[in-house]
Amino acid sequence: DVFAGKLLNVHVDQVRLPDGKTAIREVAEHCPCVAVVALDGGNSVLAVTQYRYVFGRTLLEIPAGKLEPGEEPAAGALRELKEETGAVPDELLPMGKLLPSPGCLGEELYLFLARGLKMEEARPDEDEFLQLERIPFDEMVHRCARGEIEDGKTVAAVLKAKLLLNL
């Protein structure tokens, strides 16, 4: 173990390769997460803009967050969606799981599509400063395809939703 933090644990492992040789692998362990494409009645995506310190700028993203220990992905998706946007869906459809960067990051990211939204009060975490935006679904798809949206979970989830909905 090299580092144990609030968000990540980092360790360096000596591994045996398929050819019998050994190599070093640096691994950052991260808890499982969820992300939600939430479509309102007008077929717009609820997105959040937030400052990302690592890149020194704001990014447009779909609502997402960490699962609590023992929390099921669907329950975590509903919790994060309500916390970040205030939305409570009638329907929550799973869209599979992603491994965001399997070469070095031990994170599983569960994707969901939410529809039939009822809006309540948002309650973001005290260290989250989010700006809610509603962006037409087709515009989100085009922005992902043109590279204007760079957040990987958002790109993957929006394009999966496009295929699932066939819109």
Q: Which residues are catalytic?
A: 126
d(CA 32, CA 73): 8
Task: Report the length, in residues, of the chain.
Answer: 167
Cα dihedral across residues 5, 77, 27, 128: positive or negative? negative
Q: Which own/partner pairs from 96-102 qualify as long-range (CB within 8 Å, at least 24 positions apart)?
A: 96/160, 98/152, 98/153, 98/156, 100/152, 100/153
Pick from 165, 4, 2, 144: which is nearest to 62 by CA? 144
d(CA 82, CA 74): 12
CB distance 77 to 92 below 8 Å: yes
**Burial of 83 per CB tally in 10 Å (0-12, 13-18, 19+):** middle
